[in-house]
Structure 1
Amino acid sequence: MIDIPDGSLFGLANLPYGVFSTPGAGPRVGVRVGDSVVDLAAALGDEVFAQPTLNAFMAQGHDRWVQVRQQITELVAGEVPDGAVHPVAEVRTHLPIEVADYVDFYASEHHATNLGRLFRPDSEPLMPNWKHLPVGYHGRGGTVVVSGTDIVRPRGQRKAPGEDAPTFGPCRRLDIEAELGFVVGTGSELGTAVPTGEFATRVFGAVLVNDWSARDIQAWEYVPLGPFLGKSFATSISPWVVPLLALEQARVATPAQVPEPLPYLKEPQPWGLDIDLSVSWNGHEVSRPPYREMYWSPAQMLAHMTVNGATTRTGDLYASGTISGPDKHQRGAFIELTWGGREPVRLGDQERTFLEDGDEVTITATAPGADGSRIGFGEVTGRILPAP
């Protein structure tokens, strides 16, 4: 039996999946239990877990996910084979999925309202379509990286308000976005839509996301087609995928949606999630974004993403967009937290507005689990390196 410390965020109510390696063996699928990682290929004798990503397992579908979760629960409560258990501190974690496609949404009313007030102070903060559909953009799957990967400061065109013409160089306003990401386990065919009621059987689990953002590059490029180089250089995710099956106790209603959504966006049962995030900047906690405040649910995001007949595939990742609450200490992006750079954040004896070279950001999160427990998502961390 594996020892699980009291109060562990990685108890039997969680059992998140990841991909790990050890000095003597390459990447394969494991599950985190307490302060240990169980090698599932060795423990269950199934070659699907000997793969370097979760994709083959996820593609087996919801019934298989339920079956394996039960197997792992019984295994951990009994005897795990010798050699199948490794201390988490002694393994290396890898990107847990082969990312097929990446989509990022803009689902927080508080975040969208704050940015509207910053960018359009003389207009309504929300665009007319915002409360009718989950706004999103298609990102770049090839630049999704695992937590711990250093982030090189991007370069590009930027034009400050007082400049007559754009210049090229390193980003001057490098930012974060604290988000939650959802991993599609089983895809859908071209020309079909995924209804909100199929969310729980299509989506395998959730990860933490830091969608790094070059605000000055983004500001110059985003009209008329939206984010491009200001977002595509890097997106970090946590190494542990918390199964959707572990998040039943975290389900809550979304905030009231007015006007009433169109029929394809209505949910049989709501998929809001009571998840508390924490953002630390150079070791100082600066924000506690609450996911339960998100206006659009992940089921609605998936339905909207496919309503035009677009396919989904095993390994698709879609993220919530910045998670922000109504209070200043709940803002999940530094452009909000510092109000466009006008209100610096104090980090010990230093002040920051946007990220400087050498800065490190860590995002963590917890949620209610079964039997009154708390479950954890691990962390997503990145450190900024100078532009080349």
Structure 2
Amino acid sequence: MRAAVEWAQPVLRDRLACWLHRPERSWTAAVAPRLVAGATATDDTEWRTETVTFTGTSVAVATVRGHGTGGRYMVKVPWTARAADGLRRQAGVLDQLRTNPGLPGLRLLLPHCVAQGEVEGRYYCVETALRGAPANGMMLRRTRRAALLASAGRAIRDLHHATRERTLLDRTAVAQWVDDPLRRLAEFAATHPRRGRLVDTVHRLREELVVALVGRTVHTCWIHGDFWPGNLLASTPDGQVTGIVDWDQAAPRQLPLHDLLHLHVLARRLARGDELGEIVVQALRCGIDRTLDVPADEAAGWLDGIPPRPALLLYWLRHILLFIDSEGDHDDPRWIRGNVERVLVNV
């Protein structure tokens, strides 16, 4: 029951966002057929808006279908400056990945931004619609979950292997992964009732990670950056991934463990209802393989020689930095307790 409730929370949040943002949805529904027509050099009477959702990241997403052709497109309109920056960045990332000759298989799973621009002073992007259903719901059925995780792992490893390079972790590289998130956590700790203990923990973590990482040679590569079942489309009932969406957090020269850990951590969260911070703490205590129910050699392969504790802490730090200031998280005491405080008081 708890897992079902936890899985339903983001769905309910998106439904609430839709209800609260009816004017934005109505405006997007009205302009979307015209934008698709412009992108495809057709008449706007050939297209109709089927649905419009409003995401927790303040983007109105319209599904537009052709009357006779059956073609489908997604029209995305951001309603905050941060959301607009994210969509522009995603369009650039997708262009780079689609033109990479080493990624023919992955290209089939990527949306394609066929047009972008401004309409009535507001940025928009028209994307091809991918087949498949959102993969979140498959996490509640063990057989489908296993098939989906295997398929998703194969797909993202194609990206990792095709773009990887050997990287010596010097102090500059480690500082980018460690100093920025710890600086933000230090700001958080300074306002916390237990500020003394938490500030000491932040300083200790920096020293620990620098010692563990500087001087290592690892593989770095392009990563998706938010690779979880909510950003996957899949076929049912076989659970094969048919699309990977929301590439605005993608980045080159990163550790592949970020995608692989995040996929399995969030799969467990969706299946069992645990907070991400709770899962990280358990993995620190009991091991990644036992916590995430994966073979030990597979979990070790994700880390590429980095010891499990610093690997988990790097993963957690990147996640926290991405979301601690995002809408719906930074002002949510439950999210802060479960994902920030929970880890800081247990490391």
- TM-score, scaled to structure 2: 0.27
Which is helix-richer, 1 or 2? Answer: 2
Higher relative contact order (CA 8 A, sep 6+): 1
Which is strand-richer, 1 or 2? Answer: 1
- TM-score, scaled to structure 1: 0.25
